[in-house]
């Protein structure tokens, strides 16, 4: 079946895997062939171009093995139409299935067949997506996540019953829903493998919508996964891809500053906080300069205060403790009341500053403030900060204030919450 915009599913999966150009993907396929027992063979950029064309040919068996090996997705989820779908002849060999993929990410992105949904379907689906966007800040993640996943399943089915503008609106909302599911999986539930697979599906949906800013947001979120694992080169590749998409925008000053903040976070996590501070300085310059472009409605996770929170953490990791204390204290005072998740992270960073300055009792006080907030809204990233602080407090483990923190940290409810999530 022809794809009017080309094979966006293969292109999205290729870029998500870190192959920014068709040439880079062709080279990687050629190099992988001997490693998986196919011997010496060459895949040309012309062949990749054909696969990403509006009418991609069904790859031959050895090419299928190579594509699946590099992209970790079944061949029939990459925009190719099997010949047996038109003949009714079943395939002789089933497509390899990826492992550890969440339910939201296992359904292929359907092509429109017969439009049976009304023209309002895109707007109706979007209304629910917008509600989920707001619910993220207050609803417990293990309650919200299944609902969002079911919503993405519905969106995938509706794409096959929608045409024209309604399909584009629907695909945009589906991409946002998949992005939200990935955010919950990564930041709230600490399931990076699931998040990575979900981001692939989100990028495919953004491709269907032809929304480069949403694609940039998905790629930048995907950069956090290798960044937090200290795979700096892979994170940098995804950030470069995100910047390429953002240039097709137009992107707002806030969005471009956030890309710098993502780079700073990945650099800092990879042990290069000075580079991170340079990226944050660029972001501050962008915000001061501003632009005439507005941020999209779904861009709700970043602000100047959030940038300052990135900065405080980076200053902490760079050993600039006095600066970090001042920055993080100002952030804590400026955070809106509804940003409880971010508050736990800032409190954890302030506790880490106190430990680094040999003030363990003050560190425990900040950590207990964070636990109070976590009791209201769970956030795995915030809890990870507190556990890091507690590890650093071990030299004072016999002090009463550290034991009191342990009683809170390992109480029945907190422990059960941690195990359940």
**CA-CA distance, 176 to 167, in Å (whole number)?**
14
**CA-CA distance, 318 to 33, in Å (whole number)?**
43
Highest mean pLDDT among 11-20, 45-54, 95-104, 236-245: 236-245
pLDDT tens, residue by residue, 193-248: 999 999 999 999 999 999 999 999 999 999 999 999 999 999 999 999 999 999 99
Residue-wise over 170-204: b if at least 16 C-beta within 10 A, else e? bbbbbbbbbbbbbbbbbbbbebbebbbbbbbbbbb
**Averaged over 318-330, what is the pLDDT?**
97
pTM (two decimals)? 0.73
Has residue 113 got a pLDDT over 80? Answer: no
More confident residue, 119 or 323: 323
pLDDT tens, residue by residue, 247-304: 998 899 999 999 999 999 999 999 999 999 999 999 999 999 999 999 999 999 999 9
Has residue 111 got a pLDDT over 90? Answer: no
**CA-CA distance, 153 to 102, in Å (whole number)?**
11
C-alpha distances out from residue 117 to 154, 157, 158, 160, 162, Å? 13, 11, 8, 9, 6
Q: Which of 79-93, 159-173, 346-360 has the lowest mean pLDDT?
A: 79-93
Would you give the distance in Å from CA 265 to the centre of its chain?
Answer: 13
**CA-CA distance, 104 to 421, in Å (whole number)?**
18
Six token digits for residue 147 = 């609902």
Q: What is the 3-state secondary structure (H, E, C) of 198-224?
A: HHHHHHHHHHHHCCHHHHHHHHHHHHH
* DSSP count for the chain of H helices, then E strands: 20, 0
**CA-CA distance, 26 to 36, in Å (whole number)?**
16
Q: Which residue has the tokens 């800032």?
A: 346
Mean pLDDT of the chain: 88
Six token digits for residue 124 = 């109706």
């Amino acid at each position: 079946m022809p794809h009017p915009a080309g094979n966006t599913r293969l292109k999205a999966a290729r870029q998500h895997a870190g192959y920014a150009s068709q040439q880079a993907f062709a080279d990687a396929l050629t190099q992988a062939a001997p490693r998986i027992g196919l011997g010496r063979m060459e895949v040309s950029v012309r062949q990749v171009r054909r696969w990403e064309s509006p009418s991609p040919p069904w790859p031959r068996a050895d090419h299928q093995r190579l594509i699946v090996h590099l992209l970790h997705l079944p061949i029939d989820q990459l925009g190719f139409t099997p010949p047996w779908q038109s003949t009714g002849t079943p395939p002789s060999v089933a497509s390899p299935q990826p492992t550890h993929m969440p339910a939201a990410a296992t359904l292929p992105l359907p092509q429109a067949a017969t439009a049976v949904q009304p023209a309002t379907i895109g707007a109706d689906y979007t209304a629910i997506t917008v509600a989920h966007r707001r619910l993220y800040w207050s609803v417990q993640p293990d309650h919200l996540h299944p609902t969002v996943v079911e919503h993405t399943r519905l969106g995938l089915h509706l794409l096959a019953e929608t045409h024209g503008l309604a399909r584009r609106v629907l695909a945009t909302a589906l991409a946002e829903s998949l992005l939200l599911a990935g955010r919950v999986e990564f930041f709230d539930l600490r399931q990076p493998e699931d998040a990575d697979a979900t981001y692939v599906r989100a990028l495919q949906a953004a491709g269907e919508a032809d929304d480069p800013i949403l694609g940039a947001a998905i790629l930048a979120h995907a950069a956090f996964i290798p960044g937090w694992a200290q795979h700096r080169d892979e994170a940098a590749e995804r950030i470069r891809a995100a910047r390429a998409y953002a240039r097709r925008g137009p992107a707002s000053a806030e969005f471009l500053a956030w890309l710098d903040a993502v780079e700073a976070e990945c650099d800092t996590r990879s042990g290069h906080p000075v580079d991170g501070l340079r990226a944050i300085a660029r972001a501050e310059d962008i915000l001061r300069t501003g632009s005439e472009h507005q941020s999209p409605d779904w861009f709700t996770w970043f602000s100047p205060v959030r940038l300052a929170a990135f900065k405080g953490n980076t200053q902490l990791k760079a050993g600039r403790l006095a600066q970090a204390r001042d920055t993080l204290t100002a952030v804590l005072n400026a955070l809106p009341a509804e940003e409880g998740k971010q508050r736990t992270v800032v409190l954890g960073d302030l506790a880490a500053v106190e430990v680094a300055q040999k003030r363990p009792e003050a560190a425990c006080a900040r950590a207990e403030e964070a636990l109070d907030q976590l009791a209201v809204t769970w956030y795995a990233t915030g809890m990870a900060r507190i556990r890091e602080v507690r590890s650093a407090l071990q030299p004072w483990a016999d002090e009463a204030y550290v034991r009191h923190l342990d009683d809170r940290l390992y109480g029945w409810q907190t422990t059960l919450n941690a195990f359940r999530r």
